[in-house]
């Protein structure tokens, strides 16, 4: 009997469109002789629906028509009953980015359903998406980072001038203002003075209620891809040639002008150090399945971890699969199968936990 694979995509997130691109690539890469593949969409309003089994290659994923009278709760219950009532061997690939997909919420639902799913668990997802919490944990174990501060909307509203003074005193200019819990460079601003800072903070607070401000690091931006559970493996490092001061949303997904360099041109000793730090980051966050670790590398070959991504963009042109192809020749389809195997392995291990006293 074939394993049933359910690919979740869309979601109530500003990264909704990126999720759709990732899902198309994953669905097309899955071996239909080995898996029965189903797509489950989540609209921007949180309405769930399914198009049933996917048997042919897709050019794009549509969300279909949602029942306007259906609430997110009712639509979720309907999809879960329709898709998982038979309880055949199955695995879920939550090809969701950002809020409600990469933050531990969907992972918690799948844990309650007791089905294996690809990627990181509740804790690592919830911490990994929160840049402030990730930085706090990394600081405790000595992972190198740029200077940073973070504050909430409530703190900013009550002590606006104090917040700006703290940023200028500890971070200075130029600095980067970021929503704590978003990816794909949404809501990120480079600020060179207080006027720009004030506008950036206002805009970033439209995407989250917590903001991180980082000191600018002059250096190359590089990435390491990590795959595994208890024994994670690291890819070679790769970098993008930047045409702007930082990779904003359009540079990553619209303009198409970024040039990846894989492997990055760095000394072997530095390469090894990046892999060691990436493995440490993965393990301290209790990672599973996959993770991408992003670095700044200065002219003096100093390393700073910028952030992690617990479910990075995974289109056919994304850095993660390209890094692994350059590392050991593994194909996109083979990586997806590896993710599925790791998900089943983790789920089987979790079933060894005893939930009763005797």
pLDDT value of position 75? 87
Per-residue model confidence as pLDDT tens digits over 303-344: 999 999 999 988 888 999 999 999 999 999 999 999 999 999
What is the tens place of the pLDDT at every residue in 125-179?
Answer: 999 999 999 999 999 999 999 999 999 999 999 999 999 999 999 999 999 999 9
Do the beta carbons of residue 247 and residue 185 sit within 8 Å? yes
Percent of the chain residues past pLDDT 70, beyond the cut: 90
Annotated binding site: 294, 307, 309
* Mean of pLDDT values over 203-232: 94
Distance, in Å, from the CA atom of 12 to the CA atom of 100, rounded to the nearest integer, reads 7
Radius of gyration of the chain (CA): 21
* Averaged pLDDT of the chain: 89
Element of type H or E holding 329: none
pLDDT band at 57 (very low <50, low <70, confident <90, very high): confident
Among the options 184, 235, 278, 288, which is catalytic?
184
Q: 6-41 pLDDT, tens per residue?
A: 999 998 888 888 899 999 999 999 999 999 999 999
According to DSSP, the β-strands at 148-152 and 90-94 are: unpaired
15 part of the active site: yes
DSSP type of residue 263: S
CATH of 220-349, one of 3.30.470.20, 3.40.50.720, 3.30.2350.10, 1.10.3720.10: 3.30.470.20
The CATH number, out of the four listed (2.80.10.50, 3.30.1490.20, 3.40.50.150, 3.40.50.2000), of the domain defined by the range 147-215: 3.30.1490.20
Q: What are the structural domain ranges in the chain?
A: 3-117, 147-215, 220-349
The number of beta carbons lying within 10 Å of the beta carbon of residue 212 is 24
Mean pLDDT along residues 206-225: 94
pTM of the model: 0.89
SS3 347: helix
Q: Which fold has domain 3-117?
A: Rossmann fold (3.40.50)
Judge residue 355's burial from the number of C-beta atoms within 10 Å of its C-beta, 0-12 exposed, 13-18 middle, 19 or more buried. exposed
Is 318 a catalytic site residue?
yes
pLDDT digits (tens, 9 = 90+) for 238-296: 998 766 555 554 544 445 567 889 999 999 999 999 999 999 999 999 999 999 999 99
The whole-angstrom separation of Cα 346 and Cα 214 is 35
pLDDT for position 253 = 44
Which residues are registered as beta bridge partners of 149?
A: 213
Cite the annotated binding site for Mg(2+) by residue number: 294, 307, 309
**Per-residue confidence at 82, pLDDT binned at 50, 70, 90?**
confident
Report pLDDT for 81. Answer: 83
Question: Which pLDDT belongs to residue 244?
Answer: 56
Confidence (pLDDT) at 352: 78
Tokens of 341: 């195997």
Catalytic residue among 15, 216, 221, 239: 15
- Worst-scoring range by mean pLDDT, 53-67, 76-90, 315-329? 53-67
Q: Round to whole Å and give the CA distance between 54 and 61.
A: 11
Provide the strand spans (E) within the chain: 3-10, 35-42, 48-53, 90-94, 148-152, 175-179, 189-191, 210-215, 220-228, 233-241, 259-261, 289-297, 303-309
Per-residue DSSP letter, 117? B
């Amino acid at each position: 009997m074939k394993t049933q694979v359910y690919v979740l995509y869309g979601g109530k997130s500003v990264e909704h469109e990126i999720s759709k691109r990732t899902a198309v690539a994953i669905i097309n890469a899955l071996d239909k002789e080995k898996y029965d593949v189903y797509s489950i969409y989540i609209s921007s309003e949180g309405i769930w629906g399914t198009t049933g089994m996917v048997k042919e290659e897709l050019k794009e994923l549509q969300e279909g028509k949602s029942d306007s009278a259906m609430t997110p709760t009712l639509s979720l219950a309907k999809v879960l009953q329709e898709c998982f009532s038979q309880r055949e061997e199955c695995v879920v690939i939550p090809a969701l980015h950002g809020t409600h997909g990469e933050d531990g919420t969907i992972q918690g639902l799948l844990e309650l359903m007791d089905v294996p799913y690809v990627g990181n668990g509740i804790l690592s997802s919830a911490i990994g998406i929160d840049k402030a919490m990730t930085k706090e944990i990394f600081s405790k174990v000595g992972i190198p980072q740029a200077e940073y501060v973070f504050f909430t909307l409530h703190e900013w509203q009550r002590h606006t001038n104090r917040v700006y003074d703290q940023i200028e005193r500890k971070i200075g200019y130029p600095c980067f203002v970021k929503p704590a819990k978003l990816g794909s460079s949404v809501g990120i601003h480079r600020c060179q003075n207080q006027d720009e800072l004030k506008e950036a903070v206002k805009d970033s607070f439209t995407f989250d209620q917590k903001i991180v401000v980082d000191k600018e690091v002059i250096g190359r931006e590089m990435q390491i891809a990590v795959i595994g559970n208890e024994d994670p493996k690291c890819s070679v490092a790769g970098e993008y040639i930047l045409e702007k001061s930082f990779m904003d949303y359009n540079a990553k997904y619209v303009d198409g002008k970024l040039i990846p360099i894989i492997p990055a041109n760095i000394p072997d000793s530095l390469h090894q150090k990046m892999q060691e730090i990436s493995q440490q980051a993965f393990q301290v966050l209790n990672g599973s399945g996959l993770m991408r670790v992003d670095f700044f590398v200065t002219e003096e070959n100093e390393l700073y971890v910028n952030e992690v991504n617990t479910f990075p963009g995974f289109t056919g042109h994304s850095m993660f699969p390209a890094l692994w192809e350059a590392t050991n020749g593994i194909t996109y389809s083979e990586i997806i199968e590896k993710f599925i195997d790791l998900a089943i392995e983790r789920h089987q291990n979790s079933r060894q936990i005893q939930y009763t006293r005797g």
